[in-house]
Amino acid sequence: MAEQQTPVLETPAAPAAPSKGASVKKKQNKRKLRNGIIAAVVLAGLGVGGYFLYGFLNKTEEVDAQLQTATADYGMIQSSVQGSGSARAKESAAITLSQSGTVQQLYVNAGDVVTAGQPLYTIFSQAAQDEVTSRQDALRTAQERIAETQKDMNDLYKQQNNLTVRAPFAGKIIDTGKFTEGLEVAKGATVCTLVNDRQLKLSLYFSYAYEDAISVGQEVSVSIPAVMRSFTGRVETINKVHYISPEGSDNFEVVVVFDNPGTLTEGMDATAALTAADGNPIYPYQNGKTEYYEVRDVVTEASGPMVSENLLRYADVQAGDTLLVMSSDTIDEEIRNLRKTLEENQKAVEDAQKALETAEEALQDFDAVAPIDGTVTSCTLVEGGEVKSGDTVITISNTTTMVVTISVDDRNIAYVTPGMGVNLTSNRGDGGSFYGVVTKIDMSLSGDSMGSGMTNYPVTLEVDNFDNSLLEGMWLSYSFVTSQSDNCIVVPMQSVKYVSLEDGETASVVFIQSDSKPENAVDVPIPELMPGETPTYPTEKDGYYAVPVETGLSDNYNVEIKSGLEGGETIFVNYFVTQAWG
């Protein structure tokens, strides 16, 4: 039989006592576990908090935009102008004194009605009279300076014409001055001595016994012994002088002229014989000596640097031949300076003339008459009283016609015309009404009015004030229709939108509600809205389409549609937006 074995269970050994290092390690593991749990809880809290913080910071404003619509109805629209303005006298004149004085007589008082030319007062002012005298003297002095300057200018122009020195007559140069090119030639310098040797003259004395036998133009036979020839001359001059000879005879002078054949000169001995009417010869008391017919020192009549000269002693010249040429630089500079001086003097005369006119007008104010018809609105004068320079002593206003200025913008100015009537109402609350007539339209630009983008034009109204019920400075309201359209399509002004089309052009459109796209509709690029954005225009998904329109008249609320709509359409006006926080 097989041997049966019974298993034996071994008793486990007792565990060994833990060491000191093992105990520390166990504590560290427990601490790590605890810290990990705490960290996990904190991270979980931060995550939840961050989630809610992110949601708070990024929460979206919910927008509820509701379409506002209107109907394109037929109706009437007017374009009108309204506003207010103050009244003022059409004519007003004030007299302000320029000097002090004493009131001698006063003819009017405040409230008096006067006519133009009516005497107002008399004031004596020595200062005003002295001012007129002073201004007269100043004008006279300025005018004398102009005359002197003009004379100097004329002299310079004359000198300018004389910069080229020419021979005054045909003859021979017998002496010359000395000149150097480029050096200044003084005015009055002797250029040369020119003689007329084409003819010679001979001065002889005859006894008064022949006084009646000798006459001007009478033929004379002149003999010159040096050349042993005789020449025919004539009596040019008879001088009834009294030359008493050593023998006691009384003689008169006869000047004889004869032609020079070219071989004669001055200083040659000569005698002459005349024939009396009875054929007897007449001889002079004594012989004479020949002289040049004319001797002249040619001098400069201007100054300037020498440019060129044509001066040779004993050279024959013809009348007009150039002898000396001077530059105009010096004279040109003097002329330029004098022109400036003349302009200054002319300006001084103009100023003096204006000052005199002002002084004379001011003097008239001291013995004044009414400049216009009207009412004396103020008078500060008292007989015997003193007035000071700068005092406004009388004011006269013509209030029979008053003026009111109104403002019309560029939309309506074309409808305002001269002669157009405008009703005016007093702002004092008394119900006063007046009627004005357009007399002037100032089309010069006056600028933008309060940033509206429109240009305003001043329009002047004249108001008949025959009963003087309209006072100066009174404020008046006005309102008048400039244009009107009847039986036209009228829509709210806000419904007309100005949009950019796909081709870049700008168009005026109205968004109309329709089941299908109208034939005249245009495509308007509408960007996709982001969350929280307010819509600008309705889209085709909303059942609205943009159609171009032509606008006409407008008032403060509505505008006329001249083309693009047929009437009766439901149109988009604007969005009514409500907002809520989600």
CA dist., res. 222 & res. 268, Å (int):
12
Residue 370 tokens, joined: 């009414």
CA distance 166 to 496: 92
Full set of structural domains in the chain with CATH: 68-72+488-581 (2.40.420), 80-86+396-485 (2.40.30.170), 95-123+367-394 (2.40.50.100), 171-326 (no CATH)
Helix (H, G, I), strand (E, B) or coil at 355: helix
Residue 59's pLDDT is what? 47
Give the separation between CA 286 and CA 254, rounded to whole angstroms. Answer: 12
Q: Is the pLDDT of residue 99 over 80?
A: yes
- Position 4 scores a pLDDT of 38
d(CA 365, CA 363): 5
Query: Token pair for residue 195?
Result: 């003689």
The average pLDDT across 90-112 equals 93
Residue 271 host element (H or E)? strand 269-275
Q: What is the mean pLDDT of residues 165-188?
A: 94
> Can you give the pLDDT at residue 413?
85
Instruction: Report whether 292 contacts 200 (CB < 8 A).
Output: yes
Q: What is the pLDDT of residue 321?
A: 96
- pLDDT number for residue 331: 87
> Pairing between strand 101-106 and 386-387?
antiparallel
Cβ atoms within 10 A of the Cβ of 13, count?
6
Measured CA to CA in angstroms, residue 164 lies from 156, 169, 332, 494 at distances of 14, 15, 15, 88
DSSP state of 169: S
The β-bridge partners of 231 are 222
**Residues 438-483: tens digit of each pLDDT:** 999 998 765 555 455 678 889 999 999 888 888 888 899 988 887 8
The residue type at 488 = C
Q: Tell me the percentage of the chain whose pLDDT exceeds 90.
A: 62
pTM for the whole structure: 0.45
How crowded is residue 287: how many other Cβ atoms within 10 Å of its Cβ? 14
pLDDT value at residue 12? 38
